[in-house]
């Protein structure tokens, strides 16, 4: 479920408006990084204990120090910031594209309700059937790409039990799957049914004009196109080689770091060794690994992570809104009356509450709002008169030029 915090950052007054968000756990960077960070510290202190208590002074420790020195010197050779930053940008663009590709049936429902009139049973069946088929196509698409939806509707039997399909439609799909098994998931089939029902309604005169038919079919095709985009995003991933490069770069970088930052200097106070906590290495690990985990979370927003899309809720939402638009409020609207501002051409300003009165005088201000032109500079001059300045033995003052005075009208001075 998407973790939202917009209500907490509506106003940026005070110190560190985002600091209040740092205490959150769900969807936080701490939740996705802490296991990796513990593993990093475990490896660090394992090597440290190995150096302190296992390796001998003659051969073991000198070799260990040589290895630590090497990785400390060359560990930063990996351009991690560039590689990881570009990858996260690619993943974020893909993530937003997936969100904008989620189809909504609202436009189809509004057009169906406006084009298919009648309170009779047949008209009502046609309207509701078209919307149901559209919602079935949406749900079928999600079962291909979302584990949450697949768990909710694992078989067509569950579609029937939920009321999205009837037994005849289920048999039709299953028979088609047997005849053409190569294309197992036929998310487009219900949309084809919806288009056929719409065309039949036009042929029977239930849809009165061709424009209504064209608009509905266009919206159905647009809906199909978005379903296809969702399927394409699931099919065509970010190239595996790129993901492997980024993952190897991050993990190898911190493998080198966990060796190169080992504490190998002895601080002699008796025979005790003081362990050093790798603070800066942990901070670096926290941010770089967090960056990678963000990419891992965003690359498929239809999964079961904290910040994934609420696709399960969307299924119910789409069906409910679709039925409301084509059935409950079909050809219904409040009684037409004169509006509150009937005696005015348009209201100057709507009323404010006491809590919002400080916004009463807020309005956009143009960038040239404070620029004023002096009255003497407002007269118009023309290019042909400016050209006369090049004539020999001619002296013109600014006031002699042909001008258009805003107060006196056009005048022309002839020498």
Q: What is the pLDDT of residues 51-109, one digit of tens each?
A: 878 877 777 788 888 888 888 888 778 888 888 889 999 999 999 999 999 999 999 99
Determine the Cα–Cα distance for residues 279 and 231; give it in Å rounded to an integer.
44
131 pLDDT band, cuts 50/70/90, is very high
106: left (phi over 0), alpha (psi -120 to 50) or beta: alpha
Tell me the mean pLDDT in the region 116-142: 94
Determine the Cα–Cα distance for residues 360 and 349; give it in Å rounded to an integer.
9
> Who has greater pLDDT, 218 or 180?
218
Query: Mean pLDDT over all residues of the chain?
Result: 84
Tell me the mean pLDDT in the region 333-352: 88
Whether the predicted pLDDT of 267 surpasses 50: no
The SS3 call for residue 145 is helix
Tell me the mean pLDDT in the region 286-298: 88
Residue 259 · residue 67 · CB < 8 Å: yes
Q: pTM to 2 decimals?
A: 0.79
The SS3 call for residue 73 is helix
Determine the Cα–Cα distance for residues 49 and 313; give it in Å rounded to an integer.
51
pLDDT given at position 269: 43
Tell me the mean pLDDT in the region 175-179: 89
Whether the predicted pLDDT of 265 surpasses 50: yes
404 pLDDT band, cuts 50/70/90, is very low
């Amino acid at each position: 479920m998407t973790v939202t915090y917009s209500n907490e950052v509506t106003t940026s007054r005070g110190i560190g408006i985002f600091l209040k968000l740092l205490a959150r756990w769900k969807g936080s960077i701490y939740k996705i990084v802490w296991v990796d960070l513990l593993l990093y510290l475990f490896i660090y202190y394992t090597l440290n204990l190995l150096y302190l208590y296992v390796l001998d002074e003659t051969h073991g420790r000198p070799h260990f120090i040589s290895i630590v020195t090497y990785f400390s010197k060359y560990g930063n050779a990996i351009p991690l910031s560039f590689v990881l930053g570009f990858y996260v940008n690619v993943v974020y663009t893909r993530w937003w594209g997936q969100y904008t590709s989620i189809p909504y049936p609202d436009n189809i429902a509004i057009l169906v309700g406006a084009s298919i009139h009648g309170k009779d049973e047949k008209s009502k069946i046609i309207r509701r059937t078209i919307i149901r088929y559209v919602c079935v196509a949406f749900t079928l698409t999600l079962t291909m790409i979302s584990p949450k939806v697949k768990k909710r509707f694992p078989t067509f039997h569950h579609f029937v039990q939920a009321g999205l399909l009837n037994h005849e439609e289920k048999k039709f799909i299953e028979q088609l799957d047997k005849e053409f098994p190569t294309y197992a998931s036929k998310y487009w089939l219900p949309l084809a049914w919806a288009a056929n029902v719409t065309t039949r309604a036009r042929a029977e005169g239930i849809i009165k004009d061709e424009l209504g038919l064209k608009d509905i079919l266009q919206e159905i095709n647009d809906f199909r196109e978005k379903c296809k985009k969702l399927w394409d995003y699931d099919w065509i991933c970010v190239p595996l080689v790129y993901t492997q490069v980024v993952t190897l770069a991050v993990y190898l970088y911190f493998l080198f770091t966990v060796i190169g930052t080992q504490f190998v200097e002895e601080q002699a106070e008796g025979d005790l060794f003081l362990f050093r906590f790798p603070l800066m290495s942990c901070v670096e690990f926290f941010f770089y690994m967090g960056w990678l985990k963000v990419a891992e979370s965003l690359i498929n927003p239809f999964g079961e992570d904290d910040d994934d899309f609420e696709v399960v809720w969307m299924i119910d939402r789409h069906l409910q809104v679709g039925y409301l638009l084509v059935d409950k409020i079909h050809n219904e609207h409040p009684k037409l009356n004169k509006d509150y501002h009937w005696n005015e051409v348009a209201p100057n300003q709507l009323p404010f509450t006491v809590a919002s009165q400080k916004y009463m005088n807020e309005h956009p201000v143009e960038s040239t709002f404070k620029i004023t032109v002096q009255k003497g500079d407002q007269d118009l001059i023309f290019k042909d008169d400016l050209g006369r300045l090049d004539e020999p033995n001619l002296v013109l003052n600014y006031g002699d030029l042909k001008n258009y005075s805003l107060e006196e009208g056009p005048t022309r001075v002839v020498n």
